[in-house]
Amino acid sequence: MSQGGMLSGVRVLDFARYIAGPYCAALLGYLGADVIRIEKPGGSEDRFVGPVSPSASAVFLETGCNKRGITLDLKHPDAREVVRRLVADADVVIANMPPGALARAGLDYESLCAIKPDIILTTQTGFGHAGPWRDRGGFDGIGQAMSGSAFFSGQPGQPARSATPFADFGTAALGAFGTLAALYERRASGRGQHVQAALLGTSLAFFNAALIEQAVLDLNRVPSGNRGQTSAPTDIFATRDGHVLTHVVGNGLFKRLARVVGEPGWADDPAYASDQLRGEARDAICGRVAAWCAERSTDEVLDALAEAGVPAGPVLDFDAAVSHPQTQAMGFLQPLAYPDLDGAPPVARMPLDFSAFQPVQRRAPTVGEHTDEVLAELGYDATAIAQLHAAGVV
């Protein structure tokens, strides 16, 4: 089945679970690729972590978008022929497994190339494909912890991981980016290749500036929670009815902020003459801004800062994040109904806009929803499909 779109005619097999692999595949689906999710009979694990319906988790409702779903017991000996036919008709295979598990499933690059020489395999692992931890499984928070991010995001003696799984989603985006590059290169050379991403690599790349600074300057910074250290005022401040976050970098923004909070003299104070100096004086600066915010409502603070051209935003709870006027105006969250779920939950669309293309957005598939359809496309007739069901292969 081909869809209209930038990747129309590209078929992707998604053997992945949870976020880094599935969201990589979903991103390709937004661009029009025909993405087929392969999961075990009864549904795979990522459907049932934090379920919001009998057959879907909140994560799956996002990462399962724009896919057709089939079930297949990869441990059944008759599944190998189904996999062979799927791969022979595909352009990309996505699987987030350590190298050893990939080989045991017959989804390693050498095995796939034996079926289709120009196949592109995109894998996501916890720690990479080499080194002593290559075969260990990993999750987002482990990448955060090993990059220095969790150490620096908390308070002294109290490291904190981000509730946002940035290592997972970042690895997914980088995997999609690498897959697009491999497809582009294959168009010129005819060669496929193995694209490899890792949660640890993504986390280290995202937090790299702090690691570079430490290596060069040996500053041995200690964490300070929400308060920034390389400029000021960057922090979360309490208002009369909530909280706001400001992020002030550069002399121009600092001068505007100083006028707003009634401290115009800061602009000419040599102690505050650069981002570095302001970062060192952060407690004094943030203390004054905190006092100014505490006397005002959130809307009053945000309006005053916006009028002065100082970036700031409210700290929103879940309901407010969904209903915020800017979120609504951009349509970043789309109501997307799911068969065994009442109502239509807000599912994030692809957060990219194109001047001449509208990304696809279809709901995640139910368990095995398209199994018979896909098998028929692979050349199985009704009798053969019934036999596969009877044998527990699908």
Q: Could you read off the pLDDT tens digit of each residue along the chain, which spans 394 residues?
A: 334 689 999 999 999 999 999 999 999 999 999 999 999 999 999 999 999 999 999 999 999 999 999 999 999 999 999 999 999 999 999 999 888 888 988 999 999 999 999 999 999 999 999 999 999 999 999 999 999 999 999 999 999 999 999 999 999 999 999 999 999 999 999 999 999 999 999 999 999 999 999 999 999 999 999 999 999 999 999 999 999 999 999 999 999 999 999 999 999 999 999 999 999 999 999 999 999 999 999 999 999 999 999 999 999 999 999 999 999 999 999 999 999 999 999 999 999 999 999 999 999 999 999 999 999 999 999 999 999 999 999 9
- 261 with 319: CB under 8 angstroms? no
Return the pLDDT at 99.
Answer: 85
Q: Is 89 a residue of the active site?
A: no
Quick one: fold of 11-206+330-390?
Rossmann fold (3.40.50)
pLDDT value, residue 4: 64
Model-level pTM?
A: 0.95
In the set 14, 34, 108, 168, the catalytic residue is 168
Handedness of CA 240, 241, 243, 246 (dihedral sign): negative
Element (H, E) at 246: strand 243-247
Domain ranges of the chain: 11-206+330-390, 234-238+243-314
User: How far is it between the farthest Cα atoms of the chain?
Assistant: 84
* Under 8 Å between Cβ of 221 and 280: no
The single-letter code of the amino acid at 228 is G
At residue 97, the pLDDT reads 85
38: nearest Cα among 68, 3, 78: 68
User: What residue type is 126 in one-letter code?
Assistant: G
Domain 234-238+243-314 is in which class? alpha beta
- C-alpha distances in Å from residue 35, one per residue of 17, 94, 187, 340, 385: 14, 10, 19, 22, 21
- What tokens were used for 234? 């960057």
Burial of 352 (0-12, 13-18, 19+ CB in 10 A): exposed
In three-state secondary structure terms, 158 is strand
DSSP state string for 331-364: T-EEE---TTSSS--EEE--S---SS------PP
Pairing mode, strands 34-39 and 67-71:
parallel
Provide DSSP, 274-327. Answer: SHHHHHHTHHHHHHHHHHHHHTS-HHHHHHHHHHHT--EEE---HHHHHH-HHH
- Please count the residues of the chain: 394
The C-alpha atoms of residue 119 and residue 87 are separated, in whole angstroms, by 8
